[in-house]
Amino acid sequence: MSAMLQEFKAFIARGNVIDLAVGIIIGAAFTAIVNSLVNDIIMPPIGLILGGIDFSNIFITLGKGSYATIAEAQKAGAATLNIGLFINAVIKFLIVAWAVFILVKQVNRFNKPPAAPPPPPAQEVLLTEIRDLLKKRP
């Protein structure tokens, strides 16, 4: 049992696990920001442009009955296809995907290996060969 605890301690203490934990925490906070951006900033103007549509209440009731909101339909136990919520989720995904793309692009830009030095000019190579040949002469 002690060996397993030591192995677990070594696993937890590795830098990658710590980095992953930090990433998850920041990702959760970023999700809250993206949710607010989509629900509170992006979707209201789009809904206004489209005639005052509230995307979160675009749904199709499966079966009989007519409901004004998703909450009413769910309260009545009706099955619904929540199209507006799906549209919101797609927009949130695209925002997160774009942010991750930009982040990875920037990280890759900073992590580029240094460029190899240019080869010496042909004259220098020739002089080096001559020097080496002269050194080998008795």
**What pLDDT score does 15 carry?**
64
Number of domains comprising the chain = 1
Which of these, 72, 104, 3, 85, lies nearest to 39 by C-alpha position? Answer: 85
Residues of the domain holding 46? 2-136
Which residues are CB-neighbours of 87 under 8 A, at least 6 positions away? 55, 58
CATH number of the domain that 61 lies in?
1.10.1200.120
Q: Average pLDDT of each block of 10 consecutive residues along the chain (138 residues)? A: 82 72 84 85 84 82 87 90 89 84 82 83 92 89
User: For residue 103, what are its two tokens?
Assistant: 């982040």
Q: Which residues, 6+ apart, have CB-to-CB distance to 60 below 8 Å? A: 80, 81, 83
Report the pLDDT value the prediction gives residue 111, as an integer from 0 to 100.
75
Report field, pTM of the whole predicted structure over 0.95: no
